[in-house]
Amino acid sequence: MISITLPDGNIKRFDHAPTGLELARSISEGLSRSAVAMEVDRRLVDLNAPIDHDAAVRLVTTRDAEALEIMRHSAAHVMAQAILRLYPDAKLTIGPVVEEGFYYDIDMPPVSEEDFPRIEAEIRKIIQAKLPIRRREVTKAEALSLYGNEPYKLEMIRELADGTISVYEQGEFADLCRGPHVPHTGMVKAIKLLKVSGAYWRADPSRAQLQRIYGTAFFDKKELDDYLHFLEEAKRRNHRKIGQALDLFSFHDEAPGMAFFHPKGMVIWNALLDYWREVHRAAGYVETKTPILLNRSLWERSGHWANYRENMYTATIDEVEYAIKPMNCPGGMLLYNRTPHSYRDLPLRAAEIGLVHRHELSGVLSGLFRVRAFHQDDAHIFMTPEQIEAEILGVLRLVETIYSTFGLGFHLELSTRPQKSIGTDEQWAQATDGLKSALAAYGKAYKLNEGDGAFYGPKIDVHIKDALGRTWQCGTIQLDMSLPERFNLHYVARDNERRRPIMIHRVIYGSIERFLGILVEHFAGRFPLWMSPLQAVLLPMNDELAPYAQAVKERFDAAGLRTEVDSRTESLNRKVREAQLVHTPLILTIGAREKEAGTLAVRTLDGKVAHGVDQARFIDTVLDNIRRRALDFEGFPKA
């Protein structure tokens, strides 16, 4: 007799070892149709696996988070099977699930997106056939024989320890895999191939170049359609395209991975920094600046030379080795040690917009999102142990203030000690407990990531959510008791004893370049008025009105607005359309009537037009919107 305990506490008994599908059918036919896999004693297995002992079992259905990943793994197999049918000489490597779908790396002739309809047609045949997907255990010798003509599979098999190896079969297709998989190919519902790129076998440029074919799959066609719409919207918001269209920034071969900011891009850059400085002054921070080139002995003392050397740019000057800083922290240690400190000086909150360089492989560079040179809005807070909770709470509240200004939600993740680290067990325990205590006091839920901390301390990562629902890790709060010891930092405590300060490393924008790229996509180039490079454009109705429009511009400029006059001999409609294409927030039309009355016709980006707006009222309303850093322009109150 096999006793199976379900999540609700009910117990099902069988006189034989039932499969998960039998268990599902014993509950309801509907459950059997939606079941994808099962969890037996907290281990995910195939639905058609026998349950041969008393166990706690949870059936995984299409509503559960794990189900989508399992089905997408099966979708990768279905795609590989279709490709082998169409390209019999193709050689398979690996086909993992990734965040938004799956891919398979295949040694085959080059394919393009034009080939996708043909491959997708074959995929549909495999899905419609509802081929059973079965797991088979084979010995290593049997696996070597089974894949005798598959060089990449043979390489992987030879690296495995002796013992059984699992193979999944569907029709004529078989693939090495740990599983689990859906019961049959018919459960791979809505599927779409997305793109193809090149990839080296095992990321080694000396090995074969493969075709990496990406796809995604959902249990429901509407979900797929929604996702494809999301991709189109994300493509429309691509910060590289918008940055070029709005003349904000560019990249050049002479400095790969290093952005060049144009005048309009610098307006946004400075708006971000002006706001940053304002809120940091209010929060009790002082601003510092440290050199970008420091000698090797400093990096050895900080631990970066041993733990981060492969990411650093170095130079030899006067026979001494130097490194361009990948982080601002060691310079901050030198500044702290410049003068003695008392407990009365603490907490000391020192912030720096520091230019750092990190060597990233050329293949991972991606616009402003992944660069080699970037500015961090860094800060180091030196404090006593008693101040840990209050200071971390202060940072969390500052994070909330800043992100809300941009309309960005966020969630928190706590990462603990990694395998490669510096510091004692006692230091790590005290630091981790300090972060947990502050998070508990802050009162928001957080995710725990065991073993994912920085090498010098545990950290809280802040993940923002943009207008498309995508998440980005930007802010981080790292508690560090190791660097103060390495740099022999002290303060004099109340009892006149010399003590070691506790230190917080923290950023909020993170990389300013990356944060700006996120904002470009978040706002789709339609920046709030306070950030917009050009806040208003004046359009005189004819050439005779151009001098008057220029005088109005000068009045607005004197008030602190960023304006231009478009006096080209183009039609008014064309000039309005062109201003809208570059997302100019306020389009001001001036005709003879407006000149006589001292008013404006104001068109906003939502297409609304307000006539007869008094110039003084216009200035007051716009300046108030900018002062409040409002996300939207509410229009003009009636006079």
pLDDT in tens, 533-553: 999 999 999 999 999 999 999
Taking only the tens place, the pLDDT of each residue in 108-141 is 999 999 999 999 999 999 999 999 999 999 999 9
pLDDT at 99 (0 to 100) = 84
Torsion of CA 519, 631, 602, 573, to 10 degrees: 30
Place of tokens 């590289």: 240
Please report the DSSP string for 286-315 in residue order.
EE----SEEEHHHHHHHTHHHHSGGG--EE
CA-CA-CA-CA torsion sign (622, 628, 633, 636)? negative
Burial class (CB in 10 A: 0-12, 13-18, 19+), 393: middle
pLDDT at 123 (0 to 100) = 97
pLDDT at 306 (0 to 100) = 84
End-to-end distance of the chain based on CA atoms, in angstroms?
84
Q: Domains (ranges, CATH) in the chain?
A: 2-61 (3.10.20.30), 66-225 (3.30.980.10), 249-291+326-523 (3.30.930.10), 536-627 (3.40.50.800)
Q: How far is CA 577 from the centre of its chain?
A: 34
Backbone angles phi, psi at 542, to 5 degrees: -155, 175
* Cα distance between residue 412 and residue 448, in whole Å: 9
pLDDT at 81 (0 to 100) = 98
Please report the DSSP string for 552-611 in residue order.
HHHHHHHTT--EEE---SS-HHHHHHHHHHTT-SEEEEE-HHHHHHTEEEEEETTS-EEE
> How sure is the predictor about 304, in pLDDT bands with cuts at 50, 70 and 90?
confident
Nearest alpha-carbon partner for 456 in 483, 426, 484, 434:
483
Query: Please, are residues 629 and 528 in contact by the beta-carbon 8 Å criterion?
Result: yes
DSSP 8-state class, residue 337? T
* Cα distance between residue 85 and residue 122, in whole Å: 8
Query: Please, are residues 322 and 315 in contact by the beta-carbon 8 Å criterion?
Result: yes
Query: Please, are residues 67 and 36 in contact by the beta-carbon 8 Å criterion?
Result: yes
Query: Please, are residues 176 and 94 in contact by the beta-carbon 8 Å criterion?
Result: no
Distances (CA, A) of 364 to 203, 371, 515: 12, 9, 18
* Cα distance between residue 586 and residue 568, in whole Å: 18
pLDDT of residue 365 exceeding 90, the answer is: no
* Cα distance between residue 390 and residue 239, in whole Å: 37
Distances (CA, A) of 229 to 196, 197, 538: 19, 22, 36
Cβ contacts of 397-400, under 8 Å, gap ≥ 24:
398/279, 398/280, 398/283, 398/508, 399/462, 399/475, 399/508
DSSP 8-state class, residue 482? S
Taking only the tens place, the pLDDT of each residue in 48-84 is 999 999 999 999 999 998 999 999 999 999 999 999 9
**Residues 6 or more apart in contact with residue 349 via CB below 8 angstroms:** 283, 284, 285, 286, 379, 381
DSSP 8-state class, residue 500? P
Nearest alpha-carbon partner for 173 in 209, 201, 147, 199:
147
CA-CA-CA-CA torsion sign (605, 610, 614, 620)? negative
* Cα distance between residue 101 and residue 68, in whole Å: 9
pLDDT of residue 268 exceeding 60, the answer is: yes
DSSP 8-state class, residue 87? -
> How sure is the predictor about 457, in pLDDT bands with cuts at 50, 70 and 90?
confident
DSSP 8-state class, residue 490? -
pLDDT at 637 (0 to 100) = 59
Active site residues: 329, 358, 376, 378, 380, 459, 505
CA-CA-CA-CA torsion sign (418, 421, 424, 428)? negative
Kindly report whether the global pTM for this prediction surpasses the value 0.85.
Answer: no
Q: What percent of the chain has pLDDT over 90?
A: 84
pLDDT at 423 (0 to 100) = 76
Do you find a cis peptide bond into 180, omega within 30 degrees of 0? yes
Q: What is the mean pLDDT of residues 284-295?
A: 96
Query: Please, are residues 237 and 246 in contact by the beta-carbon 8 Å criterion?
Result: no
Q: Please give the radius of gyration of the chain, using alpha carbons only, rounded to the nearest integer.
A: 30
* Cα distance between residue 194 and residue 103, in whole Å: 10
* Cα distance between residue 501 and residue 341, in whole Å: 10
Q: What is the mean pLDDT of residues 358-362?
A: 87
Taking only the tens place, the pLDDT of each residue in 315-328 is 999 999 999 999 99
pLDDT of residue 638 exceeding 60, the answer is: no
Please report the DSSP string for 501-539 in residue order.
PEEEEEEEEEEHHHHHHHHHHHHTT---TTT-S--EEEE
Nearest alpha-carbon partner for 113 in 240, 217, 215:
215
Please report the DSSP string for 4-45 in residue order.
EE-TTS-EEEESS--BHHHHHHHH-HHHHHHEEEEEETTEEE
Query: Please, are residues 227 and 216 in contact by the beta-carbon 8 Å criterion?
Result: yes
pLDDT of residue 298 exceeding 90, the answer is: yes
CA atoms within 13 A on the CB side of 574: 6
pLDDT of residue 294 exceeding 90, the answer is: yes
Residues in the chain: 639
- Mean pLDDT of the chain, nearest integer: 93
How would you write 215-249 as a 3-class SS string? EEEECCHHHHHHHHHHHHHHHHCCHHHHHHHCCCE
* Cα distance between residue 280 and residue 401, in whole Å: 11
CA-CA-CA-CA torsion sign (174, 179, 184, 189)? negative
Strands 599-604 and 609-614: antiparallel
Q: What is the mean pLDDT of residues 239-261?
A: 95
DSSP 8-state class, residue 461? E
